[in-house]
């Protein structure tokens, strides 16, 4: 058998394995009477996962090897990705090795809800490719949105939870809802793994440089900063408008324009009263 035939045979075998797995999944979903929409999402996820890995789960293969081999392989596979995350750029090799050993590869299909606002945060997510849309409900039903792209992360509430002195067993609630804006590749650090790393390398995570990075790239802090900037700009424009109208004596009857201004005032009042992230979140 030639080398080309070996490659072709391997690809055919993997595709047959995928079709077999899909048939098994379909039988199981029909037997459990899962709704059609959920079946479609499962099929889409399995196809995307197969396309991304070509049927080879590297992390699963490494998991079965001896500990030393597993750590070296995961360090080789994950180091470049981990270093792309600004939060980890200034950490030493020992910390990065422990992070690489514990991260899990994740594929999130387009449109999937990763977490809902108020749900317990099970892990930190670090985006490698693709984008996640983060939305947060402010006051009076007003929502704020931001996009998390490669290098960004979510779940900073969990990092704060791991670093507080009086450790609380209950997982912190998510401050936002995350939805995949497109097919997104990420890696995650589960709560227990993050707790292990922060406890053993507390001196690293308590450094001022890491604190600044965590706040700068935190969706919660970015939302609050955007709200503060928008509010300051609106106040400035409002003052200019009042100054320009101060010389006009006659009172004009209420109009649709004034109604719109009142709506805008209510909107920015909601933005002003939006929760600011805790300044002491990263106090060691």
Render pLDDT for 215-232 as a digit per residue (tens, 0 to 9). Answer: 666 666 666 666 667 677
HEC-encoded secondary structure of 149-182: CCCCEECHHHHHHHHCCCCCCCCCECCCEEEECC
CB 147 within 8 A of CB 217: no
272: CB partners within 8 A, 6+ apart? 227, 231
Most confident segment among 119-123, 200-204, 252-256: 119-123
* All domains of the chain in start order, with CATH: 104-237 (2.60.120.10)
Render pLDDT for 125-152 as a digit per residue (tens, 0 to 9). Answer: 999 899 999 988 876 677 778 889 988 8
CA gap 81, 48 in Å, rounded: 20
CA gap 157, 71 in Å, rounded: 27
Polymer length of the chain: 284
Least confident range of 104-113, 141-150, 231-240: 231-240
User: Is pLDDT of 266 > 70?
Assistant: no
Render pLDDT for 44-102 as a digit per residue (tens, 0 to 9). Answer: 888 888 877 666 666 667 777 788 888 888 888 888 888 878 788 878 889 999 999 99
Residue 37, both tokens: 């929409």
CB 125 within 8 A of CB 114: yes
């Amino acid at each position: 058998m030639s080398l080309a035939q070996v490659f072709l045979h391997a690809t055919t075998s993997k595709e047959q394995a995928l079709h077999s797995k899909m048939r098994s999944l379909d039988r199981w979903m029909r037997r459990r009477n899962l709704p059609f929409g959920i079946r479609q999402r499962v099929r889409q996820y399995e196809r995307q996962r197969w396309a991304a890995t070509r049927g080879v789960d590297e992390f699963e293969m490494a998991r079965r090897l001896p500990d030393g081999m597993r750590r070296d392989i995961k360090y080789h596979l994950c180091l470049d990705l981990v270093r792309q995350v600004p939060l980890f750029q200034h950490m030493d090799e020992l910390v990065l090795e422990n992070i690489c050993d514990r991260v899990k590869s994740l594929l999130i299909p387009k449109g999937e809800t990763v977490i809902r606002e108020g749900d317990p945060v099970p892990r930190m997510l670090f985006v490698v490719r693709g984008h996640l849309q983060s939305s947060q409900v402010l006051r009076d039903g007003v929502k704020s949105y931001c996009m998390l792209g490669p290098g960004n992360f979510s779940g900073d509430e969990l990092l704060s939870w791991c670093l507080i002195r009086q450790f609380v067993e209950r997982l912190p609630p998510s401050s936002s809802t995350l939805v995949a804006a497109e097919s997104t590749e990420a890696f995650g650090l589960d709560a227990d793994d993050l707790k292990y790393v922060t406890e053993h390398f507390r001196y690293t995570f308590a450094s001022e440089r890491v604190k600044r990075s965590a706040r700068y790239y935190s969706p919660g802090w970015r939302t609050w900063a955007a709200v503060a900037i928008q509010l300051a700009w609106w106040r400035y424009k409002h003052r200019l408008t009042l100054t320009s109208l101060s010389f006009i004596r006659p009172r004009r009857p209420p109009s649709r324009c004034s109604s719109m201004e009142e709506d805008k005032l209510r909107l920015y009042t909601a933005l002003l009263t939006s929760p600011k992230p805790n300044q002491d979140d990263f106090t060691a």
